[in-house]
């Protein structure tokens, strides 16, 4: 919902297999960012960036060679790149996956081409032209150097500490994002709050880095504005559930249903500064929210959400009962090819049940995300 852009050049996700079996720890992305330095300076790459893949550091040939003072020639007809320096030559034949050295030795080599850039393992280039290499895990960074380098290893590290620190922080955040993105989405929703149980729910969600959607009642929102602000601050979606939660009142007419949602939306906006567009009608849309009602809400810009995993936490007598019912409903939703939208409530049993549920979902390879306005709602009238 609602890192620097310099790391967004890597776009590789590893999808987890297995819907219900415990999932292995999310695999690391196939390609990960790395800093590259020549002599005493970090090299700047304007578009394609260096990356590590299967233990090899690949660099864009053109800009890496420029930094090393190696001349680069391109033979468009033959589709070859020729590198020259101090009487040494390297010919790169990308199409054939071949690299021809000065003495005529031919090496078969993976030669990635990305957005018009030819990439090679940096060691292949550096060692061919007589450079030494050094790896700095603090970056991580790969440095190539010759007798022209002025900085010792420790001096180089000290000189670039701030760059290393910033890069590592952003790289770690990017890796965590990729790890999260590799998991299957599951949408946890809570109805009827906020109330005295909501803070505990938020604490548990925060502990597990889980995000949720809270369908709140306007009176409760006004009563607990700090909890509404906390929901927003911690990355959850604040949505509307109406005012009265009374069947005969809310469904008295389409006008009344719309009035309740408008009242709720106004209450939330007065706290967060944002008007919710996601709503859930009391007791779900079917059979009560007939087309006349849904048309009134849709016409006002609201997006109506139901659920496909009912925990029935409100009627359960124990956390075990909630867990058993939820596991069964989740399996059925996945069997239908549906992304799970879990219905829960801000109550005591939910507070007791949630830790085990969150841990179980995490181990099964799910990530808990909030709903958002860009998504197609799960609406009973479309699915039942």
**41 is an active site residue:** no
Residue 345 is a catalytic residue: yes
* Kind of pairing between the strands at 184-191 and 212-217: parallel
Which residue, among 133, 115, 125, has the nearest Cα to 83 in the 3D structure? 125
- DSSP code of residue 145: E
> Smallest Cα–Cα separation from 299: which of 307, 310, 291?
291
How far is the C-alpha of 87 from the C-alpha of 66, rounded, in Å?
16
Contacts of 55 (CB under 8 A, 6+ apart): none
Given 160, 236, 241, 345, which residue is catalytic? 345
The alpha carbon of 121 is separated from its chain's Cα centroid by a whole number of angstroms, namely 29
Catalytic residue, candidates 160, 191, 236, 313: 191
Residue with tokens 């469904």: 251
**What DSSP character marks residue 23?**
P
Cα–Cα distance for residue pair 117/146, rounded to 1 Å: 26
Mind telling me the catalytic residues?
191, 345
């Amino acid at each position: 919902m609602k890192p620097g852009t310099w790391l967004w050049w890597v776009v590789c996700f590893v999808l987890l297999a297995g819907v219900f079996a415990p999932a292995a720890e999310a695999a690391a992305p196939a390609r990960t960012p790395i800093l590259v330095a020549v002599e005493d300076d970090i090299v700047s790459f304007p578009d394609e960036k260096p990356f590590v893949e299967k233990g090899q550091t690949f660099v864009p040939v053109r800009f890496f060679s420029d930094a090393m003072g190696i001349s680069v020639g391109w033979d468009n007809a033959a589709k070859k790149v020729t590198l020259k320096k101090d009487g040494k030559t390297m010919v790169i034949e990308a199409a054939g996956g071949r690299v021809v050295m000065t003495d005529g030795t031919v090496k078969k080599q993976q030669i990635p081409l990305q957005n018009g850039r030819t990439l090679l393992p940096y060691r292949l280039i550096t060692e061919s032209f007589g450079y030494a290499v050094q790896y700095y895990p603090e970056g991580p960074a790969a440095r190539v150097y010759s007798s022209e380098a002025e900085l010792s290893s420790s001096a180089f590290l000290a000189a670039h500490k701030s760059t290393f620190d910033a890069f590592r922080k952003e790289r770690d955040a990017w890796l965590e994002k990729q790890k999260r993105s590799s998991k299957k989405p599951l949408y946890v929703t809570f109805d009827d709050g906020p109330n005295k149980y909501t803070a505990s729910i938020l604490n548990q969600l925060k502990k597990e880095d889980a995000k949720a959607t809270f369908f709140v009642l306007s009176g409760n929102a006004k009563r607990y504005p700090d909890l509404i602000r906390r929901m927003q601050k911690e990355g959850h979606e604040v949505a509307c559930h109406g005012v009265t939660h009374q069947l005969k009142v809310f469904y008295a007419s389409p006008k009344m249903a719309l009035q309740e949602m408008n009242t709720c939306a106004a209450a939330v906006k007065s706290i967060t500064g944002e008007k919710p567009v996601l709503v859930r009608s009391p007791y779900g849309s079917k059979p009560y929210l007939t087309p006349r009602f849904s048309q009134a809400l849709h016409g006002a810009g609201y997006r109506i959400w139901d659920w496909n995993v009912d925990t029935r936490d409100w009627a359960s007598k124990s956390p075990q009962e909630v867990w058993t019912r939820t596991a069964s409903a989740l399996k059925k939703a996945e069997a239908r090819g549906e992304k799970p939208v879990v219905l829960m409530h801000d109550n005591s049993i939910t507070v007791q049940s949630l830790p085990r549920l969150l841990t179980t979902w995490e181990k099964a390879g799910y990530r808990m995300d909030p709903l958002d306005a860009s998504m197609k709602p799960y609406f009973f009238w479309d699915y039942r």
